[in-house]
A and B are shown apart, each in its own frame.
Chain A
Amino acid sequence: MVVKNRLINPGAGFVRTGLAGMVFLVMLLMSSMAMAVKYDVVPPSGTHTGEDVPQPIEFPHDIHVKDNDINCMYCHTYARRSKVAGIPPTSKCMGCHKVIATDKPRIKELTKYWEDKESPLWKKVHDVPDFVHFTHEKHLKTLAFDREFPVEDIKEICAFCHGDVENMTVANKVKPLNMGFCINCHIANKDLGAPGDCWKCHK
Chain B
Amino acid sequence: MSLDNILNHWSDYRKGAEEGGHHDYEHRWAMAINLDLCIGCNACSTACYAENNLAVVGKEKFERGQAMHWMRIERYWDQQELEHPEQGASFLPMMCQQCGAATCEPVCPVAATYHTPDGLNAQVYNRCIGSRYCSNNCPFRVRYFNFYSYYESSWPEPMEQQLNPDISVRDKGVMEKCTFCVQRIRTVKDKAFMEDRSVQDGEVVPACAQACPTSAIVFGDTMDEGSVVSKLWKKHQVERGVYQKTKLAKKDADLRGYRIFEELNVDPSVMYLERVREDI
CB neighbours of A130 from chain B (8 A):
165, 168-169
Q: Is the CB of A131 within 8 A of B122?
A: no
CB neighbours of B122 from chain A (8 A):
197-199
CA distance A196 to B166 in the complex (A): 20
Given A141-B193, A141-B194, A203-B167, A197-B125 contact (CB < 8 Å): no
Interface bits A32-75 vs B (CB < 8 Å: 1, else 0): 00000000000000000000000000000000000000000000
Q: Is the CB of B117 within 8 A of A198?
A: no
Least Cβ distance of B255 to chain A in Å? 35
Given A138-B194, A203-B186, A197-B166 contact (CB < 8 Å): no
Is A133 engaged at the interface, CB distance under 8 Å to the other chain? Answer: yes
Which label, helix, strand, loop or mixed, suits the secondary structure of the B interface?
Answer: loop
CB neighbours of B165 from chain A (8 A):
130
Is A156 engaged at the interface, CB distance under 8 Å to the other chain? Answer: no
CA distance A124 to B47 in the complex (A): 33
Q: Is the CB of A138 within 8 A of B2?
A: no
Is B182 engaged at the interface, CB distance under 8 Å to the other chain? Answer: yes
Most chain A CB inside 10 Å of its own CB: which residue of B1, B117, B120: B1
CA distance A197 to B124 in the complex (A): 11
Is A137 engaged at the interface, CB distance under 8 Å to the other chain? Answer: yes
Residue of B nearest to A183 (CB): B3
Is B127 engaged at the interface, CB distance under 8 Å to the other chain? Answer: yes
Spell out B's residues near A (CB within 8 Å): 1-4, 114, 116-118, 120, 122, 124-127, 165-169, 182-183, 186, 190, 193-194
Residue pairs across A and B with Cβ atoms less than 8 A apart, 15 shown, are A81-B194, A130-B168, A133-B166, A138-B190, A196-B1, A197-B116, A197-B117, A198-B3, A198-B114, A198-B116, A198-B122, A199-B118, A199-B182, A200-B186, A203-B168
Taking A130-B165, A131-B168 as given, write out 15 further A-B residue pairs in contact, using a Cβ cutoff of 8 Å, ordered by the A residue number. A81-B194, A130-B168, A131-B126, A133-B186, A138-B194, A196-B2, A196-B4, A197-B122, A198-B122, A198-B124, A198-B127, A199-B182, A200-B186, A202-B127, A203-B166
